[in-house]
Amino acid sequence: MSALQEISLNIRNMKQLEYSVLARRTNQIKDELKKGVKKSYREVIDVSWGDPHRAGVKPLSFVRQVLAAFYPQLMDGDKLMVDVKQRAQMLLRACPGGSVGSYSATAGVTEIVERVSEYITRRDGGVPSHPENIYISSGSQWALTNILKVLVNPEASPRTGVLTPVPCHSTTILSLMALGAEVVPYYLREEQGWALDVEELQRAWGSAKEVCNPVGLYVINPGNPAGYVQSRKSMQEVIRFAAEKRLFLLADEVYQDCVFGEETEFVSYKRALAEMGSPLSDTVELASFHTTSKGLMGECGLRAGYVELVNLDPAVMKHIYSLFSANSCAPVLGQFALDVMTNPPQPGDPSYPLYMKETQHIRTSVAENVRRVEEVINSLPGFSCQPVEGGAFAFPRVFLPPKAIETAKELGMKPDTFYCMRLLEDAGVLSSPGSEYGQQEGTYHIRFCIMTPSEIMEELLRRLSTFHKRFMNEFS
């Protein structure tokens, strides 16, 4: 078995282990609490998901008001703002039959696709975006899987390879394996704030050539789970590498609205590519992904996102159209939420003051959570957290004592899974083990969502601090 295959197998096994052990025990603990079993906590704090609403963040009023406005009695009444009704009416007029219950075009409601294109152009400082290159999907992961289907030939020999960061959220790894691709890991530099290093890309590409044919490079910016945000210089180096190796660039940019570093800004790969000029801007193939599930909106359950394609051959675009057509259209209500995300209330609109108040509250709360996480985690012995510049997660490293590592092995667990299990059992905090996302050999991490109300984060940090000190003392 190759080293690449062993890493893929470990990730698959860890995914199964987390669901079968951590999730099962979480449900048991919840049942025990309902039955009055005495514990040091009254409820489980679940921060294992990248789901802001699940973690306690409240939905944005404008989104829910627009969705509610499709009920005729509300549309005709005086309980909703004028701009809410206008947005709902505009969206309904764009639907066949004037109903949210109708199918849309394969790529999405035409008017919404056009407005997403306008949003991208604004975001990228005027770099043109063309509606015919945009597909609305039922989430960014669904769109990514469809694009991977174009790149990956499951019958090819040698196998198709895709360079993938470590750490990386497991859903992409599992999608690649399901398609028959070889996962080619490149390691982010934790000691440098999880930086993406082109020398490491060169190493990964060189090692991959022995076992597969690398055709794609997957990047996550802002990072998940590592929380880094790439600089323009870093992105330009990655683009040059992709061009040199003739790799298709897959840019996962779903956390682009979640940037917290004071001197940090999000720049899309499309903008960075355009600014580099010809011949790169005309030749490097790129797919960029975004979604309503992440960021300030956090509407995971509405299932909508988009992919924008750059520099693809027309024949390939026809094939992609066929792939997206196979599953009809994305949920129409989700498409409406995507329209709101890309075109929120503007100054002068009746809904603007409340929208700004709510979004600013989320930004302020998360920024404070980031500050507190770094402050508390880095004050604990045997813990280290790199700066969280963006995204929705903290991914601190825990330096586990040898006795804890040995105990975990005796129980048939990965050491960081054992730590997460004890954290759940003793403190009622459900986090994820770093081994689910990949990590350097001999290092251990945990991942938890930082997009929670501040009071929940404070309680989480209090429980984590108390537990961690006791755990380290027990196994020292």
CA distances from 62 to 368, 372, 389 (A): 24, 30, 27
Three-class secondary structure of residue 265 per DSSP: coil
Alpha-carbon distance of 50 to 48, in angstroms, equals: 7
**pLDDT above 70 (res 260):** yes
Quick one: pLDDT at residue 346?
A: 97
Q: What is the mean pLDDT of residues 254-280?
A: 94
Q: In the predicted model, what is the mean pLDDT of the chain?
A: 92
**377-428 per-position pLDDT tens digit:** 999 999 999 999 999 999 999 999 999 999 999 999 999 999 999 999 999 9
* Residue 206: Cβ within 10 Å count: 10
Inter-residue contact 172 to 144 (CB < 8 Å) = yes
Strands 212-220, 248-252: pairing kind: parallel
Cα-Cα-Cα-Cα torsion 251, 442, 394, 263, nearest 10 degrees, comes to -70
Q: What is the mean pLDDT of residues 16-42?
A: 87
Strands 446-449, 134-137: pairing kind: unpaired
Q: What is the mean pLDDT of residues 51-76?
A: 89
**pLDDT above 80 (res 345):** yes
Alpha-carbon distance of 223 to 269, in angstroms, equals: 14
Alpha-carbon distance of 421 to 406, in angstroms, equals: 15
Quick one: pLDDT at residue 19?
A: 53
Strands 159-166, 212-220: pairing kind: parallel
Band of the pLDDT at 2, cuts 50, 70, 90?
A: very low
Quick one: pLDDT at residue 135?
A: 95
Three-class secondary structure of residue 443 per DSSP: coil
**pLDDT above 90 (res 262):** no
Band of the pLDDT at 10, cuts 50, 70, 90?
A: low
Q: What is the mean pLDDT of residues 338-354?
A: 97
- Whole-angstrom Cα Rg for the chain: 23
Vertex 146, ends 145 and 150: CA angle to 5°? Answer: 110
Quick one: pLDDT at residue 1?
A: 44
Quick one: pLDDT at residue 366?
A: 94
Band of the pLDDT at 18, cuts 50, 70, 90?
A: low
pTM of the model: 0.93
Long-range contacts of 200-205 (CB under 8 A, 24+ apart): 201/163, 201/238, 201/241, 202/241, 204/163, 205/163, 205/245
Band of the pLDDT at 4, cuts 50, 70, 90?
A: very low
Inter-residue contact 418 to 404 (CB < 8 Å) = yes
Quick one: what percent of the chain has pLDDT higher than 70? Answer: 96
Q: Mind listing the domains of the chain with CATH numbers?
A: 3-56+355-475 (3.90.1150.10), 62-91+346-351 (1.10.287), 100-342 (3.40.640.10)
Quick one: pLDDT at residue 398?
A: 98
Quick one: what percent of the chain has pLDDT higher than 90? Answer: 81
**pLDDT above 90 (res 431):** yes
Identify which has the larger pLDDT, 13 or 282.
282
**Residue 305 in tokens:** 């996102």
Q: What is the mean pLDDT of residues 25-54?
A: 94
**148-197 per-position pLDDT tens digit:** 999 999 888 999 999 999 999 888 999 999 999 999 999 999 999 999 99
Eight-class DSSP state of 78: S
By CB neighbour count within 10 A (0-12 exposed, 13-18 middle, 19+ buried), where does 186 fall?
buried
Band of the pLDDT at 66, cuts 50, 70, 90?
A: very high
Quick one: pLDDT at residue 14?
A: 47
* Residue 165: Cβ within 10 Å count: 28
**pLDDT above 80 (res 229):** yes
